[in-house]
Structure 1
Amino acid sequence: MMASATQNRPILFDLTLSCHRLGEPPDGILRCERQYARALLGRPDLSVKFCRFDKKTGQLELLSRSTAKMLISYAGNKNRHRRGLAKSVGDIVELMRSSQERRYRWFRWGIGRILRRITGNGHVNAKTIPPGTVYVLSGVAGETHDSEALFELTRQTGMAIFAICYDLIPIVHPEFIQINDVTARFRRYMELLLVHADRIACISDATRTDLVAFAQSETMPVPDLTTLLLGLEIPRRSAAGRPDIVQDLAPRSYVLCVGNINIRKNHALLYRVWRRFAAERGEQTPRLVIAGGKGWHADDVIENLLNDRLVTDHVVMIHQASDDAIAWLYENCLFTVYPSFYEGWGLPVSESLAFGRHCITSATSSMPQAGFGLATTLDPDDDEAWIAAISELIDEPQALEEQERQIEARFKRRTWDDAGAEFIEQVLSTGNDAHARPAGRSKSQST
């Protein structure tokens, strides 16, 4: 058991991403931020405060625990709420004043409720943050923070910094990034993080390798690096029966691909493979079900899948699948495919195993690790290898049954309780020398 002195070490957890994306369904990094915040809220023995970064003032604003609970439990609809609803107090006041129409009364009420909750808690400074505090950054500050102002503030207050690194896509694969200035902003954020962070937890071995390679290429210092695997939250069906959106699908008659359709996910390979199957197998071709929203550079592959007469009858696209539908699709598919070029982890690979379904995925970045030695991994550019692997599972039921037996015998799901406990342990042991670091001194000056 940890010493009480370590347990009582102050923690400041940043919830800026949850504020920035209030009203949007949680996915990816946002879901992780909320899960780690839940883990901290579930430990009343710890000294934890919450905050958000205000770009207008360059300050970290303290949030009450009730606000934190509201943010991490909020399951809003992005079509009913404006993006960035709680970006800053000033924005909220302005929205309240400008929302004069009767149809926005509910909106003004909601903003007022948020305003009452988040004001009056003060800002982060040397007076409000006790010595030895660990500042936890579980989102991506390059998107929601002014990186220069943020790290200057942490330097002035002398806080130790614990950050989570999910991937380095804007740096290692900028061709997969939609917005032109994202790469420059992300690169600057990572440069500052490498200088100022006491510990960076990477969500996979591949991400850790990429981070070390980037630091070395830029002759940057490498702080204490750890690996912190994510928890796996399995979509659960809330009711028996088949969701309406999948009524036309027969159980164990289709191959499933879960994930947004964009250029990085490599759905173009699946189009080529299924076109080949349709030409050679005709009506014996199993259906390919793609469950995911439309992302960047998806138009061409979607147009091919919908309009190619050879393929269209063998492909089903579901762009807004509920958790119930996703769970049903996993439970009833033959197996899954995930030919992405690059991932920080590869959640659909692990989800497939959690449902007892074999996955054929890419042998790149983190996906072999996400498959825990139970997935088939292939070159995402090798069409022939994918055709052969998929054909084997379609044509040889005993081979598929053996894969499923191996999954049942060997796969052990890592829960968010497991991940949360390890997260807290890593946070509490971060930069223990920070207790002796005077506020205002850089790490290079501290002893």
Structure 2
Amino acid sequence: MVPDPSQRPVGGVERAKLYIAINDLLVYGSAITRPTGIQRVASGLAEELMLRYGGECVSVSVAGMKTVRLPAADGSSVAARLAEPVLRALSHFPRSIQERARSVARAFLSLRAQRSHGTFTKPALESWILVLGAPWIAPGMADAVCLLKERDGVRIALLVHDLLPTTSQRWFADAQGQAAKRDVETLITAADTIFTVSAEVAAELQTLYGKRGTLLTPADPELSARAGINAAVPADAERTVLSVGTFHPRKNLVALVNIWDTWENAPRLVLAGRRHPQDGEFFAALAAHPRAAERITLIHTADDAQLAELYRSSRFLVMPSLAEGWGLPVREALLAGRPAITTDAVPAATNSPFARVVPAGDEAALSAVIHEWWNGNAPERLSDEIQRTFVPRTWSDVAAELAGRLTT
């Protein structure tokens, strides 16, 4: 069960507890200054579980587990600030060098997380250990969690963000993709309870592994204190079309380059996200289409406050993705009062009255809707409706659902 934080051991018998394995968040906190979508979800949920349900964050290894502090998700650590320029410089090297360097860095930072300062603790029988983030980022984390179940009798609860390394192998043949596939499959096999961020991922889980997943939709996290659905557009801001996400090929940003290349008097398109070792095709397309390049702005280093400003300055978000587990930018856009054009590969847009959905890979349909929205008033009409009716989902909501499931 999920413990009452006020409970104490009775008769010398330790009560079951709720532990959150955060090796991956420790690695993220040491490596990047701008949190990933998975990192935002895991950090937000972990913080709420600690606050309301007595959860304890731990790092795990073959030696056991030790209690540790949850790192800030805002990239404020000295290590992250030092690592960020190294990652930017690395993005200019060939893909093979990038992948090798990232693999070595993950192994080093994972070992550092396992050896982080903290107190070793032995879990009470039938305690829960939660894996909320990206275990493949911290090599050895998945195996250590499974060892705790075998050795100490803990129960494993797993939040699955996506199964892309299995369902979309053409993009995940690199070392990290294969590590992600192995670690997620290891935990899926061992888990006592599985949560998924979307119904689509739950269906894939059932089809591929015969496992049932309980839907646990992420919260809608504010990007900064200046964000919010009632925020006005800065008076001096150029109205834009915005796309947010890494420059991974599954994001299909090449489609936007093609659309902008044939558009007379195209608006400013802002692409905000960190570079990726597989982004060569995108940059080749941009170099081959100088007309489009003139109207496309690339931003790789936006912090939360800057990203919130980009949302507010846009008329709408566009996500041309070919595959997604959830699609957090759709929800971030709603917090800024902005609607979205997405493909049907973005679960966060499913059944949303504030999103226009086109078939994934249908560039003509995507282009038609982008032109229609830019030349019409649909974005403003939907923005007004968002401000009147949209109710953000909170981490308190999500944590209550997770805790309720673990107590039944």
TM tier, smaller: 0.7 to 0.9
Q: Paired residue for 2:375?
A: 395
Distance 1:22 1:5 in 2: 27
Query: 1:410: which partner in 2?
Result: 389
- Corresponding residue SS for 1:377: strand
Q: How does 1:239-254 map to 2 (within 5 A)?
A: 251=237, 253-254=239-240
Rounded Cα–Cα distance in structure 2 between residues aligned with 1:316 and 1:90: 37
* Counterpart amino acid of residue 257 in structure 1: S
How many angstroms apart in 2 are the aligned matches of 1:53 and 1:420?
22
- Once the two structures are TM-superposed, the CA of residue 359 in structure 1 deviates from its matched residue by 0.6
Q: Do structure 1's residue 214 and structure 2's residue 170 form an aligned pair?
A: no
Task: Give the corresponding residue for 1:53.
Answer: 60
What do residues 237-290 of structure 1 show as CA deviations (whole Å, max 9, x unaligned)?
669xxxxxxx9x95353211111112010001101111111xxx2xx3211111
Q: Helix, strand or coil: the match of 2:381?
A: helix
User: In structure 1, what is the Cα distance between the partners aligned to 2:6 and 2:192?
Assistant: 16
* C-alpha distance in structure 1 between counterparts of 2:295 and 2:253, whole Å: 15
Answering whether residue 152 of structure 2 is matched by residue 154 of structure 1, we say no
Q: Could you say which residue in structure 1 is the equivalent of 2:97?
A: none
Taking the TM superposition and a 5 Å limit, the aligned residue runs for 1:123-142 are 128-142=122-136
Contact 1:207 1:365 in 2 (8 A): no
SS of the residue aligned with 1:130? Answer: coil
Does 2:331 align with 1:350? yes
Matched residue, 1:274: 260
**Aligned residue number for residue 97 of structure 1:** none
Q: How many angstroms does 1:69 deviate by?
A: 4.4
Cα distance, 1:3–1:70 mapped onto 2, change above 3 Å: closer
Residues 61-72 of structure 1 aligned to structure 2 (within 5 Å): 61-63=65-67, 67-69=68-70
- Structure 1 match to 2:224: 236
| Alignment map for 1:30-49 (pairs within 5 Å) | 30-43=39-52, 46-49=53-56
- Give the aligned residue type for 1:166: H
Please tell me whether the aligned partners of residues 49 and 62 of structure 1 are also in contact (alpha carbons under 8 angstroms): no
TM-score by length of 2: 0.80
**Counterpart AA for 1:251:** A
Q: Which runs of 5+ in 2 are unaligned?
A: 8-14, 87-104, 228-233
The answer for the alignment partner of 1:372 in structure 2 is 352
Find the counterpart in structure 2 of residue 20 from structure 1.
27
Shift of 1:339: 0.5
Correspondent of 1:194 among 175, 188, 195: 188
- Alpha carbon RMSD of aligned pairs, Å? 3.1
In structure 1, the partner of 2:214 is 226
CA contact (8 A) 1:265 1:341 kept: yes
Residue from 245, 252, 262 that aligns with 1:259: 245
Q: Deviations over 1:136-167 (max 9, x none)?
A: 11123344253445323312212111111110
List runs of 5+ in structure 1 lacking aligned partners: 93-114, 217-221, 240-246, 430-447
Whether the 8 Å contact between 1:230 and 1:419 is mirrored in structure 2 is: yes
Change (3 A) 1:188 1:405: same
Say which one has the larger Rg. Answer: 1
SS for the counterpart of 1:294 is: coil
Aligned length: 370
Cα shift at 1:30: 2.4
Determine if contact 1:357/1:404 at 8 Å carries over to the other structure.
yes
Identity between Structure 1 and Structure 2 (%): 22
Cα displacement (A) at 1:68: 1.4
Letter paired with 1:419: V
Provide the rounded CA distance (Å) in 2 between the counterparts of 1:202 and 1:6. Answer: 30
